A and B are shown apart, each in its own frame.
Chain A
């Protein structure tokens, strides 16, 4: 299915929760959705016979300076089409539902986004820091991250 048709179908089903379609300059195109409905829309995209997005290729956190985003890149092995789903989050206490119950592949990548951006995935089966030490302060991929001078008394 073309991104436009996917957007129309999701919009028809979820109405207000689907904000816009980002097409120009985006490959693949993104369906922008409200963060609180991410889990329901993901379930729909996975299970609907016309969608069948059985594979979560990539899940990434992004810092757009004025706000955060979580981008999901989906692919359907059976149908062969692709789409992006994006949810924008406020800079203050960014949080959205986890999709590791929809695609188990999400767990490690959600932990990574939590570790490096401080985005909280509610309902996640296991949300801990993954790449950095557990006692690290701050989230380094944020654009306003200040490098610490010391870590456990060692100059960084």
Chain B
């Protein structure tokens, strides 16, 4: 037996996973060096979707850049829209009507639910359970219908404006949102029954690629990935912006429920729990929303004062930061988009050392990365 093992070739294999691979959530290429089934090294190669958004940003006006933010994280366009508007408003000191801020929070939280639904659905599909994906898409359709009502689009919304939002909410929108919440809230325990605590699913995720809290901070993980490692940090709470201080919600963190704190299961579970918190925020926002205008007065040839500002917002995938430099003209001088998925990919090579090839899929899914945001 021993003699046969020696006769077998045992050199490492070099495997290309992607760029066209269903489990990489877009065009991500991972260069795997494996020893049989065990990954010696997994190096991510990004940039296949690079569209030079930062360069484009220097050639368009502040308002014209809004539709480009839709293409940053297309599963959470509303959040990206709002992040851009908040950055420019912070730079120029624009006061936004309260109703507009409430509308933004409502659409952002609805978008967070639909984004987490995709994260949940595609992750379970990656793990070999296809049915939950259909459940997630079914619920997400209803959010898309709501967004179609307010802005006509179902994916790239371009709804938020610098100084407010493009139009007031349509008739019965808040009632419809309430109906959706009443419908959606009982679905979350259903997902848990359906898949979350399924034995095979848990075995695929628990204790896989555990990241400690300190490591997560040092590597710049944000959002659910950071909270999955047990760090209770949420920008909506720690650096409150918009009307979030008036809304009560819990920050969900990973607890090592089925394995180690910061493993794939914790990151998954944080997203499931955050959907429930978003429902809570939405109910309060619907109850509190005041009347009034939805746009501040912003001149057509908008020229913010000279200055530099860094603003970050809590998006479904983590902290979307925008470093904006204005030279006092109608075009941004420099805008840097700090995309959460891009920074998250930093830790990928480190956490995947020594895992099985199938676990790589679990890690990518648990990070919930999105490629247009990585490549910009």
Contacts and interface: CB of A to CB of B under 8 A. Distances in A.
A130 interface: yes
A87 interface: no
A25 B334 CA distance: 15
A28 interface: yes
B47 A57 contact: no
Contact of B321 (A57, A116, A130): A57
A108 interface: yes
Contact of A108 (B217, B325, B345, B350): B345
A42 B55 CA distance: 29
Contacts of B319: 57
A18 interface: no
A26 B321 contact: no
Contacts of A73: 310, 321, 323
Contacts of B218: 54-55, 103-105
B307 interface: yes
Given A58-B336, A62-B325, A105-B218, A25 B306 contact: yes
Given A73-B323, A77-B231, A25 B305 contact: yes
Contacts of A50: none
Nearest to A28: B310
B46 interface: yes
Contacts of A124: none
Interface string B332-352: 001010100011011100100
B219 A105 contact: yes
A93 interface: no
A71 B47 CA distance: 23
A107 interface: yes
A128 to B, nearest CB: 10
A57 B233 contact: no
Given A54-B217, A54-B218, A58-B338, A25 B47 contact: no
Contacts of B11: none
A69 to B, nearest CB: 10
B120 to A, nearest CB: 26
B55 A104 contact: no
A26 B308 contact: yes
Interface string B221-233: 0000000000101
Interface string A25-40: 1111010000000000
Contacts of A132: 47, 50
B347 to A, nearest CB: 7
B308 A25 contact: yes
Given A27-B307, A103-B218, A57 B346 contact: no
Contacts of A105: 218-220, 343, 346
Most central of A84, A108, A112 by chain B CB within 10 Å:
A108
Interface string A47-88: 000000011111010110000000101000100100010000
A63 B334 contact: yes
B338 to A, nearest CB: 4
B96 to A, nearest CB: 17
Interface in B71-103: 90
B320 to A, nearest CB: 11
Nearest to B233: A77
Given A27-B308, A54-B218, A130-B46, 13 more contacts: A27-B90, A27-B309, A55-B220, A57-B220, A57-B319, A58-B312, A58-B338, A60-B338, A62-B334, A107-B346, A109-B338, A109-B342, A141-B55
Interface of A: 25-28, 30, 54-58, 60, 62-63, 71, 73, 77, 80, 84, 103-105, 107-109, 112, 116, 130-133, 140-141
28 contacts: A25-B306, A25-B307, A26-B307, A27-B310, A55-B220, A56-B220, A57-B312, A57-B321, A58-B310, A58-B321, A60-B338, A62-B334, A73-B323, A77-B231, A84-B310, A103-B220, A104-B350, A105-B218, A109-B342, A109-B343, A112-B342, A130-B47, A131-B47, A131-B50, A131-B375, A131-B376, A132-B50, A133-B47
